Structure 1
Amino acid sequence: WDPVENASLMPWLAATALLHSASVLAARDALRTWTVMLGVVAFSMSMVGTFLVRSGILTSVHAFAVDPERGSFILALLAIYIGGALTLFAIRASTIAEGERFSVLSREGALVVNNVALSATLGIVLLGTLYPLLTEAFDVRVSVGPPYFNPVGAVFFLPMLVVLVIGPLLRWRKDSLARVRLPVLLVALAGLATLVGVWIVADIAILPLLGLALAVAVGLASFLPLKGRALRRVPLAIWGMCIAHFGVAVALFGMAADSAFQQERLVAVNVGDTVEVGPWEARLASISPVAGPNWTAMQGDMFFSYKGGSPTEALPQARSFWAPPQETSEVALVTRWNGQLYAALGNMSEDGRWQLRLWWKPFVTFIWYGGLLIALGGVLALLGRVVGDLRRRAAIARGEADPQAEAEEAEATA
């Protein structure tokens, strides 16, 4: 929950809400005012993120190119863009006629819940990021971290995942739970079985446990919209939705598994010693001094072996900078498909041993796999709409209807 990382998360949350709201607008001509508002918020959050990163107003290891004058310029642009957009919205919002009405129990209703949850999460992240700045103005320094973000965010994020299971199965405008009861029940049983099974074999906190159960449920539910369809005729937009939702499940699994099963060790070792952490063996082969343009460091030559396999070399460093004076650790990172191992070298103690901190984060790589799947789903959905639009235009130019395009459009909005 680094503040600069939050600055990039906030526009993503707003843009994701906008994407789902726009799908309701395109398919059912509803949520017009809300979609316009989300467009303003999404762009505003990108401007806020730029200001937070480049102005130096926040303290973060990820802040770069800090320039107070540039920050003032961005703040002025922020006031003009956001102030102007909100003013226009306030003036013209009453002139925007709302589209068709829909039942709460419908795909539109599920997407509204999705939007509310994403917007609430955005507000939570924004408050947690800016609150230290507000208190600092009154000479009160506070730090906001996981004890705030994790439980408060889960209040809205977990229900959103439940809706993610049911929403794609619902019809537009109006539906009944009886029609989707069986697939939802099967998914719920799979999630419950995962929850009970993990609870029996592992002693983990409640949030990671719920995360693992929901990851399984969402992953299974992601492809339920394909049930009963001829797969070759399924529009790319539907494939994109299924793959993107499956990517959410994969990323959630990575987050929950990392939180539940990560292992950490802090040890003092001599050169030649071997340390075990999880399935890894780490050996400190040697220590040597190295230097850079404005720093000196003690570098450890380490070899890491996974379950007795061939060793991998990595070089953690304990650096000392002199302009300005500070000490940092350059972490060694070993990545496998199923996780990452981190090693940080500390200082030498009085007895000649070196401080070494090791972290094994299983399945943290699945967060990246999930992100790639979400991006792939977005690309497929975009290509599907572009191809369908080009096909319809070509058919109109020939003065005839394109039955395949019409069938795909009907299936995509079914």
Structure 2
Amino acid sequence: MSIPEPPPFPSDLYGGRLTIDLEALAANWTELNGKVDSRTECAAAIKADAYGLGQERAGQALFEAGCRTFFVAVATEAIALRAQLPQAVIYVLNGLFPGTEDHFVRHHIRPVLGSFCELRDWAHICKAAGQNLPAAVHVDTGIHRLGLSPAEFSAAMADSDLLGPFVPSLVMSHLACGSVPAHPMNRRQLDLFREITAPFPQIPRSLANSAGILMGSDFHFDLVRPGIALYGGQAIDTQANTMRPVARVEARIMLVRDVPEGDTIGYGARQTATRPLRNAVVSAGYADGMLRRASSSDERPGGFAMIGGYRAPILGCISMDMITLDVTDVPQELLQRGALVEMLGPNVAASDLAAYAETIDYEYLTSLGRRFERVYAPLT
């Protein structure tokens, strides 16, 4: 379910701004859709409030671009999306909790079933309704999270008590190592998925996430499910990212101050000024999704921001509400109190920040806080 946006206040009251480019989001879906042939449907993963950027607005933009099938994580997200997009096909990746079947039926949303318990519960509700209610079946090809094992899948497909009441609308699996195309796990999963689904050519199949789309047609099958690439993220570690950036985070300068050589900066005195420095303190922190692990210290560099084309490294520990930047080499006219500094966006890729934070760009996007002013506009 989308989290309600904060009430509007004058822009200058916010410590920062999150700008979301829905045109870029739609363009990214169109580009990914163009990488599959006409027999393959391009869906969209908009779980976690559309990777932190707003499910309601993102879902509408993608539907208008031509997307008709959506994947979310939990039923509350699906119910909210159904109210907005009555004609969409909506799958719930995290499956079916006991006693929730009626909600799925009432709102015409489809669970992704990954256990015998879920299959039995869904078969029971189909029998009670006297109709084949669509649902996906998830088979585990090696990631060992959700999904039936290959042996369980074969047994389930042969069980008339389970598959008599309904025929799966989709059989899917999930790649464990798609961000590294050369990893042998990708080919093992592909071969296993082909093998276990081959006896059921009448059922649509889906294996590819964003990385799977980019790895080529072998992985595409009948439906692909892009996520991170839609939002401008880096799907494959070893390839240039051609997706358009969708989000920009800017934080306001609170003050600029001088730090003498030899003094330390921030909590824990983790970083020492190795020369006379000029610091800018900006109004954003880990409460806003600027991950603390991207902090800087004497032992390792941290992330950075951009100010008018100048790189401004993070100095010291990122705190809850503020970050200190090294602006020694930034012209003074760009450092006015209240001015906005780019913390993430076209010039500071989430994947770059993620490398400093020893994480992935998914975490940055889904962690963006609610204290920023949210603006839906092109990233000009």
Give the TM bin, normalised by the shorter chain. Answer: under 0.3
Whose helix proportion is higher, 1 or 2?
1
Taking structure 2 as the reference length, the TM-score comes to 0.22
Taking structure 1 as the reference length, the TM-score comes to 0.21
